[in-house]
């Protein structure tokens, strides 16, 4: 269960103000059909979590325990630094002539492939030698971080996202750095 809670919390927090969340809000305004768009986002999030979890378990069988510790530490370190870095503008996919389910599914899948949430899921799965709980936790965290943006769209601007993003980015970066130093035996 620790793997579930870790991946849930980290993937939900790392979505705050991220490009994926902004894309979901923009697509929510564009389509004004939250249920079909949410279905596409939920399917894309599930696919991303599955790829991360299964890839993490595969990697976890190939590398040593020390390397697993470093992999987990680096996933957190880079996720935290990614939250502190300036964001690029989001392509709202205006030329796509697909409906909300397919646009949400493909748009989010393309944007999130190899993103920090997927690496956190992979690192947690590798560290725990279990793909189920990291997959479920990461998937739930992505859904909790993204679907409200579809529903609340413009109200997202009223949320203290910048503060949450900066605060969480600092905390996650520090935890990742401490774990990385520990993996090298320096702490």
Span 43-88, pLDDT tens digits: 999 999 999 999 999 998 888 888 889 999 999 999 999 999 887 7
Q: What are phi and psi of 16, to 5 degrees?
A: -60, 115
How many domains does one find in the chain?
A: 1
Q: Which residues contact 148 (CB under 8 A, 6 or more apart)?
A: none
> What percent of the chain has pLDDT above 70?
98
Distance of alpha carbon 152 from alpha carbon 174, whole angstroms? 31
- pLDDT value for 164: 86
Query: What's the domain range around 54?
Result: 2-183
* Predicted local confidence at residue 165, as pLDDT: 87
Task: Give the Cα separation of 36 and 87 in Å (integer).
Answer: 27
> What is residue 118's predicted lDDT score, i.e. its pLDDT?
93
pTM of the model: 0.89
Euclidean distance between CA atoms 26 and 34, whole angstroms: 11
- Say whether pLDDT at 157 is over 70: no
The better pLDDT of the pair 153, 39 is held by 39
pLDDT digits (tens, 9 = 90+) for 29-38: 888 889 999 9
Question: How many other CB atoms are there within 10 angstroms of residue 108's CB atom?
Answer: 27
């Amino acid at each position: 269960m620790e793997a579930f809670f870790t991946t849930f919390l980290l993937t939900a927090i790392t979505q705050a103000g991220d490009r994926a969340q902004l894309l979901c809000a923009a697509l929510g305004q564009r389509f004004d059909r939250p249920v079909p768009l949410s279905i596409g986002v939920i399917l894309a999030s599930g696919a991303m979590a599955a790829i991360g979890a299964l890839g993490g378990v595969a990697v976890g069988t190939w590398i040593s325990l020390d390397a697993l510790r470093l992999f987990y530490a680096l996933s957190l370190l880079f996720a935290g630094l990614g939250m502190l870095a300036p964001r690029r503008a989001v392509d709202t996919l205006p030329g796509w002539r697909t409906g909300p389910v397919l646009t949400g599914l493909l748009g989010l899948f393309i944007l999130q492939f190899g993103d920090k949430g997927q690496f956190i899921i992979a690192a947690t799965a590798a560290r725990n030698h279990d793909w189920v709980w990291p997959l479920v936790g990461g998937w739930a965290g992505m859904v909790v971080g993204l679907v409200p943006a579809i529903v609340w769209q413009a109200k997202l601007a009223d949320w203290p996202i910048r503060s949450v993003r900066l605060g969480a980015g600092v905390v996650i970066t520090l935890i990742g750095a401490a774990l990385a130093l520990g993996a090298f035996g320096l702490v």
